[in-house]
Amino acid sequence: MERLSEYRIMWVLVLFDLPTETKKEKKAYTDFRKKLITDGFTMFQFSIYLRHCSSRENSEVHIQRVKNSLPEFGNIGILCITDKQFGQMELYQGKKAKEVSTPYQQLELF
C-alpha cells in the first residue's frame, strides 16, 4: 500500500462570486453552497470553500461534482493544490500571523 504523501494528498479550493440581487439568484447561490457542503467542502473564507482529498484521482471526482452543480450566472474558480503547498500558505488576521489550521484531520492506519 502506498503511504500517504504531502505531494499526493490534494486540496480542492472553490472560489466563487455569485449574484444575489433577485430571489432566483439567492436560491442559486444557496443551492450551490449547500451542494459544496454536502460534498464535504468547508468554508475557508466567505465564498472560498475547500476540501481535503486523499489523491489526485479523488480530487477529480469532487471537481467534477462542482462542475455539475455550477449555477447559471456568476464567477467560479476551482484550484487544486498539494497538501505540501497548502501547508506553505501564510495567513494573517490583520497584521498578526495566524497558524494554518486545517479543517480536516488526517488519520493514518498502519
CB 29 within 8 A of CB 36: no
Tens of pLDDT, residue by residue over 9-57, are 999 999 999 999 999 999 999 999 999 999 999 999 999 999 999 999 9
Q: Which sequence spans correspond to the domains of the chain?
A: 10-98
**Can you name the residues that pair with 49 across neighbouring β-strands?**
14, 43
When pLDDT is cut at 50, 70 and 90, the band that residue 102 belongs to is low
CB 72 within 8 A of CB 2: no
Whether domain 10-98 has CATH 3.40.50.150: the reply is no
Comparison of pLDDT for 90 and 106, the residue scoring more: 90
When pLDDT is cut at 50, 70 and 90, the band that residue 88 belongs to is very high
pTM above 0.85, yes or no: no
Tens of pLDDT, residue by residue over 52-67, are 999 999 999 999 999 9
When pLDDT is cut at 50, 70 and 90, the band that residue 110 belongs to is very low
Which runs of E-coded beta strand occur in 1-110?
Answer: 10-17, 42-45, 48-53, 75-82, 91-93, 96-98
Question: Residue 21 — φ and ψ, nearest 5°?
Answer: -85, -35
